[in-house]
């Protein structure tokens, strides 16, 4: 995306000590977002966590709040409504609904820890027209696992790992 296509997102810092969102590396899709508070999440617990920032997302764009893969892998921490959506018209504090999926360990986060990533996407709106029937499609009404599990996609040409397991 060229700089001309990049939106300018206005950020209001609601807490002077919290860092602004930032990209860790050139070309990253997600900008890192920090917590504005210390958080302790017991196993299975979820909590709405403050970030100390509010955004003005430009019209025609939306901000999606994604989990951080490292926190998911190391701590079992995810976002309940992933991805969360920050609409262009919303001006309140960006909040992140975190969930500790680990069944035995408490997750402890300190103020300033990176807890999520913000991904900005151009979006369109739709007009809705009620009809009595929908046009046919190749997929039809199949959904929620109708295409099968992993086994349905694996054939004999995929090599197996040591011990006979598949490398998926």
Is a pLDDT exceeding 70 seen at residue 2?
no
> What is the CATH classification number for the domain harbouring 16?
2.70.40.10
Name the residue among 61, 71, 53, 69 with its Cα closest to residue 16.
53
Number of H helices, E strands in the chain: 2, 10
| Rounded Cα–Cα distance for residues 97 and 82 (Å) | 9
Question: Is position 118 within any domain?
Answer: yes
Question: Is position 1 within any domain?
Answer: no
Who contacts 112 (Cβ-Cβ below 8 Å, separation ≥6)? Answer: 17, 18, 19, 34, 35
68 assigned ligand-binding residue: yes
Q: Could you report the per-residue pLDDT of 66-110, keeping only the tens digit for each?
A: 999 999 999 999 999 999 999 999 999 999 999 999 999 999 999
| Rounded Cα–Cα distance for residues 95 and 55 (Å) | 11
Q: Could you report the per-residue pLDDT of 131-143, keeping only the tens digit for each?
A: 999 999 988 887 7
Question: What is the structure's pLDDT at 154?
Answer: 54
Q: Give one DSSP letter per residue of 30-83, joined into a string.
A: -EEEE-SS-EEE-TT-EEEEEEEEEEEPPTTEEEEEEE-HHHHHHH-EEETTSS
Other CB atoms within 10 A of residue 149 CB: 8
Q: Which residue has the higher pLDDT, 75 or 153?
A: 75
Q: What is the CA radius of gyration of the chain?
A: 20
- pTM, full prediction: 0.81
Question: Is position 31 within any domain?
Answer: yes
Question: Is position 5 within any domain?
Answer: no
106 assigned ligand-binding residue: no
Range of the domain at 26: 10-122
Question: Is position 36 within any domain?
Answer: yes
86 assigned ligand-binding residue: yes
| Rounded Cα–Cα distance for residues 9 and 135 (Å) | 40
Question: Is position 95 within any domain?
Answer: yes
- Into how many domains does the chain fold? 1
Question: Is position 81 within any domain?
Answer: yes
Question: What is the structure's pLDDT at 153?
Answer: 52
Chain length of the chain = 168
Helix (H/G/I), strand (E/B), else coil: 19: coil
146 assigned ligand-binding residue: no
Question: Is position 143 within any domain?
Answer: no
């Amino acid at each position: 995306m060229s700089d001309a296509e990049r939106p300018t997102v206005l950020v209001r810092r609601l807490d002077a000590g919290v860092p602004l969102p930032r990209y860790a590396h050139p070309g990253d899709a997600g900008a890192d977002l920090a917590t504005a508070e210390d958080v302790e999440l017991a196993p299975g617990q979820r909590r709405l966590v403050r970030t100390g920032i509010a955004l003005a997302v430009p019209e025609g764009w939306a901000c999606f709040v994604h989990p951080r893969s490292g926190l998911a892998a190391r701590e079992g921490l995810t976002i309940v409504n992933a991805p969360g959506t920050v609409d262009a018209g919303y001006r309140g504090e960006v909040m992140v609904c975190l969930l500790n999926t680990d069944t035995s360990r408490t997750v402890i986060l300190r103020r300033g820890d990176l807890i999520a990533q913000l991904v900005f996407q151009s979006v369109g709106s739709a007009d809705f027209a009620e009809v009595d029937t929908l046009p046919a499609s190749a997929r039809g009404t199949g959904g929620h696992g109708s295409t099968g599990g992993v086994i349905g996609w694996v054939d004999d040409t995929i090599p197996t790992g040591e011990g006979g397991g598949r490398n998926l």
